[in-house]
Structure formats: C-alpha cells, structure tokens
Structure 1
Amino acid sequence: MRNFKIVLQYEGTRYKGWQKQGGTNAGRREDAESSDSSFLETNAKEYTIQGKLERLLSRIAGEPVEIHGSGRTDAGVHAYGQVASFHMDTKLTAEALMEKINSYLPEDIAVISIEEVPDRFHARLGAKGKTYRYRVLNSSVPHIFERRYVWQVPEKLDVQAMCKAASYLEGTHDFKAFTSTKKGKKSTVRTIEAIEIVRCGDEIHFTFRGNGFLFHMVRILMGTLIETGKKNRRPEEMPAILESGLRENAGPLAPACGLALMEVSY
C-alpha cells in the first residue's frame, strides 16, 4: 500500500465544504465499481470536496480509499493550496495517477501536485501551520467577475486602525471568543504569527499565518477587524474580547466567499 500526498485547488462556491457529511461513506464499494461516467454526482447530499475525491479514488483503486485533508474548509471557502494524503494500492506512477484524477474531476477542483511520501505522513496530523487570505472589495462599485471571491464592503475602511487591532491579535492567545464552536474539551489556544493587511487598489487583502485555526476563527476575526475599519469599535478593545472568551463580544461572521486557504506548512 503506497502513501500519496497531493496539493489541490478548488473553488468552494458550490460545495458544502471539505468534510464529507456524517453517516455517508464516500468510499463505499458500489461507488468504486460504478461504470457510469457521472459517478461523481451520485450522491447529492455528499456534495463535498472530500466526498468527491474519495469516490473518484475508490473507483480508480477498485476498493474504498479514505483521504485526509490538512483541515476542514467551510462551505463556500476556496483553496489554492489544500493538502491531502491517502493510501492506495496502485501500479500507476504518481504522474499518471495525477493525470487520471484530473481527467475525472470537475472544472472547479484540480490536483496541482502529487508525490509518494513515507507511510507515516498524514496531511492533518503532520501540519505545522497554515496561511489564509481574505479579500475585501472596498468599493461601492461591484466587481462582477470577482463576486465569488470577495466580500464587498462599500463603506470607507481605516486600514491603519485595522492594522493596530490586528497587532493585539497576533501571538499566542485563547481565541475562544473567535470561534463558533459552542462546547468542547479541545484547547482553543492558538498562535497567530502574523496578520498582514494591504490595500491593493480598491481591494484590501488580509493574510493570516498561524499554527492552526478554530472553526470560523478567520471569518470572525475578519468581521471584528472590519467593524474596527468602519470605526464601530476601537482597536484597543481586542485584548478585552480575547480575555472575555465570549463569542458575542467579537464581530460578526464574515462571508465565506472572500476566504481562501493559501498554503499548509509541514
């Protein structure tokens, strides 16, 4: 059994996120053995990136294949550099396997690299850090051809105020106030190495680099920073929000469309 690492890109607009839905088995044998060219669409409920990949890999292998992503992306979130790994018994070279996978994938998903890795490599467990980018269109004029990839905020935003707010959020903190997870025994402490905010014409790009991110964390950080940019809250409020650990003290959940996973480090 060989272990493969893939890097893939996808436009998340029409998907329910990365993770397959509970109670379904995307790698089940009947999907693997299907000869119908539309086998990727067989389960309407399983409209996820993981689900599609598992059905495809299972069909190629002739037996169930389970794939592990570096982490989950929400419904509507995009990826330029998602990493995943899977074990497969195949005689195909890595290059031939990549070509075969891409020949069946829909036009909004693509594997951009593949390599055989040591048996113990695991895309999620081995991940050391991630980089996300969020794009804001800071203009009252819509960008029709970019509408799936930006959050349009027509009000003038104060970039300097948002940068100051971001400086309070960098470092190691308990980000309980910045997650939608209600309960859980897992730690909500994370380290944000850097938050970079750059204006590019009428867009503002926010880049988040850290050792890991909680459920909805980047999108809630974005909602909070945008409120600061609108001068609806002060940058100096960030430490108190972190200290409170209360979701209601942070800003709103930003739309998924502006967010993309850029890179995973190992």
Structure 2
Amino acid sequence: MRNIRLRLAYDGTNYHGFQRQEKTHGPTIQGTLESTWMRLVEEEVTLATAGRTDAGVHASGQVVNFMTLARIPDEKIPKAFNSLLPRDIRVLQADSVPDDFSARRSARWKRYDYCLDNHRIPDVFQRLYAAHVPVPLNLEKMQMAASFLEGRHNFKTFAAAGGESKTFVRTIYRCQVKEAHQFLKIACVGDGFLYHMVRIIVGTLMDVGKGRILPEEIPEIIASQERSRAREIAPAHGLTLAHVNYTDESPFDVFKDLV
C-alpha cells in the first residue's frame, strides 16, 4: 500500500466542516474527498487531516493523507481528483510519503489567518471570507495585545468546550495584526491549536481594538485559565488554515513578517 499526502485548498462556505458527518448534517470536505476517490478507483479510504476545520472555515494549505492500493502516479492524482471534485475544493499537490507519516501527528507547526473587514459598509466580494466589524478598531493596541500571546503558555482560557485535547499547553511563535485598505489581517503560527482557539483569540483582540480590554490585561487573562475571561468566538468565515509545516524549517525564519 502507498501512503498518499494531499495538499488542499477549499472554500468552506457550503460545507459542514472538514470531518465526515451524518448525511443529515450536510456535506463535509472529508466526505466529499473520500467519495470522489471511490468514484475514481472504486476503493474506500479514510482520510487523516492536519486540522479539522469547522463549518464555514476555509483552507489554502490543508494537508491530508490516506493509504491506498491504487496505482495512479502521484503527479496525476491532483488532475484526477479535480476532474470530479466540486469547484470549491482543489487538490493542489500529491506525493507518496513514508508509511508512518500522519498529517496530524507529523505536523511541526501551522499557520492560521483571520480577516476582518473594518469598512463601515461590508465589502460585497469579501463577505464570505472576512468578518465584518463596522466600528473603529485601535490597530496599535491590537498589535500590542497580540505580542503578549506569543510564547509557550497554558491556553485553557482560549479553548472552547467540546475539544478533545488532554493538555492546554501550546506555543504561539507569531501572532501579528496588520492593516491593508481597511482590512485587518491576523496571523497566528503555532505548534498546535485548541478547539476554536484562533477564533477566541481574534474575538479577544477585537475587544482590545474596541477599548473593552487593555493590552496589558492579556497576560493575566492567559494566567486565569478561565474561559469567561476571553471574549466571544469570532465568526468562522473569516478564518483560513494557510499552512502546515512538516520540516525542520523554523517558523521564525519563514514568517519574519506574516501579513
């Protein structure tokens, strides 16, 4: 058998998240990919993923892997998949990897990007990919607050109920906020993320920008380990899984300036 790794991009708008669900819940990315492979080679496979994105969340650099007996050459797999997949899912690359490779367990670090539309009237063309915040946001204070999130911490404060993680300790290598044409881009690079962690971080940074939280309060909010101290979860559609790294390459070298 071969262990095949795929790099994916998808628009999560029309899907009930990545993970396969009961049909009554609607289509999922995993279910769509697995059924497409069945149509291609009449083989049932189970995909493992680097990150189980939620309903409405997008990806430009998702990674999955699966074991197969099929003999399609690696370089022809993307074209085969994309000939049958809906247009909002694309296989960007395929390669054979060692049997012990796991899209989830072998990952060294990941990058998530979040987009905020800070125009008074929302941008029509970005409405599915940016969360609209029509009130003024203090960029400088948000940047200062983001810097306090960097480092290795117990991020229980920023974990939503329902996650399966046994430990809340994670390392955020970079957390940056940049502005471009009244869009705010928030980029987080870390060795792993808890359930809804990035969206809770974004919600908290939004409240900093609105003046509801002082940047200097972030270390104490982290230390409290109380979910109630962080703010509401930002909408799913502003979030994109941008990159998953499996090499010894340092995130500090790759992302000196994130956004």
- Normalized against structure 1, the TM-score is what? 0.89
Q: CA RMSD in A?
A: 1.4
Match of 1:159 in 2: 139
Match of 2:152 in 1: 172
Give, in angstroms, the shift of residue 44 of structure 1.
4.9
Match of 2:8 in 1: 8
Q: Does 1:87 align with 2:90?
A: no
Do the aligned partners of residues 19 and 196 (structure 1) sit closer, same or farther apart at CA in structure 2, a change above 3 Å counting? same
Q: Does 184-193 or 219-228 show the bigger shift?
A: 184-193
Deviations 1:11-33 (A, max 9, x none): 00111111112xx5xxxxxxxxx
For 1:219 and 1:238, the matched residues in 2 are separated by 16
List, as ranges, runs of 4+ consecutive aligned residues in structure 1 with deviation greater than 4 Å. 182-185
For 2:165 and 2:58, the matched residues in 1 are separated by 28
SS at match of 1:13: helix
Give, in angstroms, the shift of residue 62 of structure 1.
1.9
2:226 to 246, 250, 263: 246
Instruction: Show structure 2 runs of 5+ residues with no match.
Output: 247-259
Map residues 115-264 of structure 1 onto 2, 5 A cutoff: 115-181=95-161, 186-264=166-244
Please say if residues 207 and 213 of structure 2, whose CA atoms lie closer than 8 Å, have aligned partners that are also in contact.
Answer: yes
Larger radius of gyration: 1
Please say if residues 151 and 258 of structure 1, whose CA atoms lie closer than 8 Å, have aligned partners that are also in contact.
Answer: yes
Instruction: Show structure 1 runs of 5+ residues with no match.
Output: 25-42
For 2:115 and 2:244, the matched residues in 1 are separated by 19
For 1:265 and 1:226, the matched residues in 2 are separated by 28
Please say if residues 194 and 208 of structure 1, whose CA atoms lie closer than 8 Å, have aligned partners that are also in contact.
Answer: yes
For 1:8 and 1:171, the matched residues in 2 are separated by 29
Please say if residues 163 and 195 of structure 2, whose CA atoms lie closer than 8 Å, have aligned partners that are also in contact.
Answer: no
Please say if residues 20 and 46 of structure 1, whose CA atoms lie closer than 8 Å, have aligned partners that are also in contact.
Answer: no
For 1:16 and 1:83, the matched residues in 2 are separated by 18
Please say if residues 162 and 226 of structure 1, whose CA atoms lie closer than 8 Å, have aligned partners that are also in contact.
Answer: yes
1:96 to 55, 76, 79: 76
Match of 2:253 in 1: none
Please say if residues 61 and 89 of structure 1, whose CA atoms lie closer than 8 Å, have aligned partners that are also in contact.
Answer: no
Give, in angstroms, the shift of residue 244 of structure 1.
1.2
